[in-house]
């Protein structure tokens, strides 16, 4: 199946700093990428949907100025958590869909654990 | 709007016994249904999907699921559970009639615990 990678897998930062997380589709062109947030033992919460070359569409309640999403190419999307605070600590998962698979199937990355001190 | 319900927070089963994880859904159009498994601190691993066709879908690691349109259910099953099946399982649905981007709605998840 199609492979999606995320980098870094784990990051620890100080409060007030910004953190960038990369999501790459390794063997297919991802026309759409999704960013999810997951708290311990909870479900995935969709944060935003991004299409290559367009502005991301954020879900209700997600601050677009805090969670900056860029989808500049068909293989890379980035999520930047700006001025991170401890409450932003979470597990962030991306997924990608596009020309691989059928019916715009989503392929998931391994996730990034963010800890804000 | 689409929604997914996983009524059980946790399912406990002894190794070798059948495993069932329940899922019901609600969509306005035709559903596109998935099951994923998640191990601690890992992303989601795809198990199986239903798009159309045969109601019984076979997937990875011996899992299968049956699509029941009248009961709007898509329960995950495995005839003989293994200790290594202990993980968090998510059911997800996409409404094929209303969503062109492929957005998924996830259930709350069911923790499966298989004891030796």
Residue A103 to residue A86: CA distance in whole angstroms: 38
Maximum CA extent, chain B: 44
Q: What is the arithmetic mean of pLDDT over B52-75?
A: 94
pLDDT at A31: 86
pLDDT at B103: 82
Distance of alpha carbon A68 from the chain centroid = 10
Q: Is the pLDDT of residue B99 over 80?
A: no
Q: Is the pLDDT of residue A5 over 70?
A: yes
Q: What is the arithmetic mean of pLDDT over A74-103?
A: 87
CB B91 within 8 A of CB B78: no
% of chain B exceeding 70 in pLDDT: 97
Contact A108 B32 (CB under 8 A): no
Chain B residues touching chain A at CB-CB below 8 Å: 32, 36, 41-46, 49, 51, 88, 90, 96, 100-104, 106-109, 111
pLDDT tens digits for range A20-44: 999 999 988 888 899 999 988 788 9
Q: Is the pLDDT of residue A64 over 90?
A: yes
* Nearest in space to B101 (alpha carbons), one of A2, A96, A25, A74: A96
Task: Please state, in angstroms and as integers, the Cα–Cα distance from residue B26 to each residue in A22, A31, A78, B46, B74, following that order.
Answer: 33, 27, 32, 21, 11
**pLDDT band per the 50, 70, 90 thresholds, residue B100:** low
| Chain B residues close to A91, C-beta within 8 Å | 41
Contact A108 B46 (CB under 8 A): yes
> Is B86 in a helix, a strand, or coil?
coil
Q: In chain A, which ranges are E strands?
A: 4-7, 10-13, 19-25, 30-38, 44-51, 57-58, 67-73, 76-81, 90-98, 107-108, 112-116
Four-residue CA torsion sign, B47, A4, A89, A8: positive
Tell me the average pLDDT of chain A. 90
pLDDT tens digits for range B17-51: 999 999 999 988 888 999 999 998 788 898 999 98
Q: Is the pLDDT of residue A102 over 60?
A: no
pLDDT at A99: 58
What's the CA angle centered on B92, arms B25 and B86, to 5 degrees?
A: 110
**Which stretch of A78-82, B29-33, B105-109 has the lowest confidence by average pLDDT?**
B29-33
Q: Is the pLDDT of residue B110 over 90?
A: yes
Please state, as a whole number, how many other Cβ atoms lie within 10 Å of the Cβ of residue A86: 9
Q: Is the pLDDT of residue B1 over 80?
A: no
Q: How far off is chain A from B45, nearest CA to CA, in Å?
A: 7
Q: Give the total residue count for chain A.
A: 117
Q: Is the pLDDT of residue A111 over 70?
A: yes
CB A1 within 8 A of CB A109: no
pLDDT at A103: 57
Q: How far off is chain B from A19, nearest CA to CA, in Å?
A: 19
% of chain B exceeding 90 in pLDDT: 71
Strands A30-38 and B19-21: unpaired
pLDDT at A13: 96
């Amino acid at each position: 199946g199609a492979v999606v990678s995320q980098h870094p897998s784990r990051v620890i930062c100080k409060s007030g700093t910004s953190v960038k997380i990369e999501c790459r589709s390794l063997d297919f062109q991802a026309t759409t990428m999704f960013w999810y947030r997951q708290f311990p033992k909870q479900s995935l919460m969709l944060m935003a949907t991004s299409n290559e070359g367009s502005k991301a569409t954020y879900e209700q309640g997600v601050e677009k100025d805090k969670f900056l999403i860029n989808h500049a190419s068909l293989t890379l999307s980035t999520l930047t958590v700006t001025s991170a605070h401890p409450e932003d600590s979470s597990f962030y998962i991306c997924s990608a869909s596009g020309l691989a698979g059928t019916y715009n199937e989503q392929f998931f990355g391994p996730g990034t654990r963010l800890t804000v001190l | 709007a689409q929604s997914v319900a996983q009524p059980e927070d946790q399912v406990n089963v002894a190794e070798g016994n059948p495993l069932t994880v329940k899922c019901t859904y609600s969509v306005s159009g035709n559903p596109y249904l998935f099951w994923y498994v998640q191990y601690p601190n890992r992303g989601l691993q795809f198990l199986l999907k239903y798009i159309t066709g045969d109601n019984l879908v076979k997937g990875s690691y011996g899992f299968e699921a049956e699509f029941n349109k009248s009961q709007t259910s898509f329960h995950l099953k495995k005839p003989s559970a293994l200790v290594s099946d202990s993980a968090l399982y998510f059911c997800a649905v996409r409404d094929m009639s209303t969503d062109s981007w492929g957005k998924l709605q996830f259930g709350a998840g069911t923790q499966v615990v298989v004891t030796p």
